Structure 1
């Protein structure tokens, strides 16, 4: 059974890269957290049967093309008070919006370190003073956001994404190689 102080600092890291997950866990443990790790939605669900983390760090893209958004949804359903931060190698407006809708409190682009993540945990509220940019979104950014949105809709199925976007599978594969999704 968890003590209240243990539960207050219980963190789950949902990340399929074992080296990154281990490094992140060690870093948080040095800061007084109890860090648990899961590499998939299934592992997370098993963990949630016995533990209730106060904090979570979730990678957006997990092994076998699965989405970390399902993990965000599971964590939020388990305990809406869980402070969830989503990490991704490619940030897009579409996935940021979906992550927040599903219960994440923050969305950080990789590379992010423990300081960045802990700072995100500390910011419980939005910032109305956040600067608005005057720069218009580029065509390349819009294209990439549409590709990423369609990838999510298809469960990261490259062939189906290419079909829905009306492009050749190899063309899509080349575009994906240029912009790695993690």
Structure 2
């Protein structure tokens, strides 16, 4: 099974490629958007492991061109900054799975092997922490403003730099 890993962190990309090769995948790596589209055309992968943050670029913007180029390829979006808004957007754009870092190899293999029935999680009745709720709300407003931090900060009645600091932090788990 051919796999294209699109990850800007060279060390993580090589580690993933090495580990997934041991699992039977034929791995190829790209570190930016233009290289990713070129490699995708050349190797026509069965699956793509796409990082959401590619340097200064957003991996979400790559989903639609990849989906248009490779209609039947399984696309797994991997992110360290998960939010409901980005998960919904990723699925709307054509990603098959949305996983958060750090991730264990078993979960990653299930996603890449398209074993989605075991990946789906049910929404439990637990209440979100205030910090997590704030993170989700910020992500939703930021998404509705097409990533414009200044407009989002004004809408949230928050200083722009404060918003930028909050966006640099990893989301709080439930």
**RMSD, aligned α-carbons:** 2.5
Bigger relative contact order, structure 1 or 2 (CA pairs below 8 A, ≥6 apart): 1
Q: Which SS does the other structure have where 2:43 is aligned?
A: coil
Aligned to 2:37: 45
Aligned to 2:99: 108
Aligned to 1:134: 125
- How far apart, in 1, do the equivalents of 2:112 and 2:5 lie? 13
Q: CA offsets, 1:110-151, max 9 Å, x none?
A: 101433211112344446x84331123344323212322344
Q: Which SS does the other structure have where 2:42 is aligned?
A: coil
Give the deviation of 1:67 after TM superposition: 1.2
Aligned to 1:58: 50
Pairing 1:112-127 to 2, within 5 Å after superposition: 112-126=103-117
Q: 2:80 aligns with which of 71, 74, 89?
A: 89
> What stretches of structure 2 of length at least 5 have no aligned partner?
none
Aligned length: 171
User: Structure 1's 130 and 113: CA in aligned 2 closer, same or farther, altered over 3 A?
Assistant: closer
Q: TM-score, normalised by structure 2?
A: 0.83
Deviant stretches of 4+, over 6 Å: none
- How far apart, in 2, do the equivalents of 1:150 and 1:117 lie? 30
> What stretches of structure 1 of length at least 5 have no aligned partner?
1-8
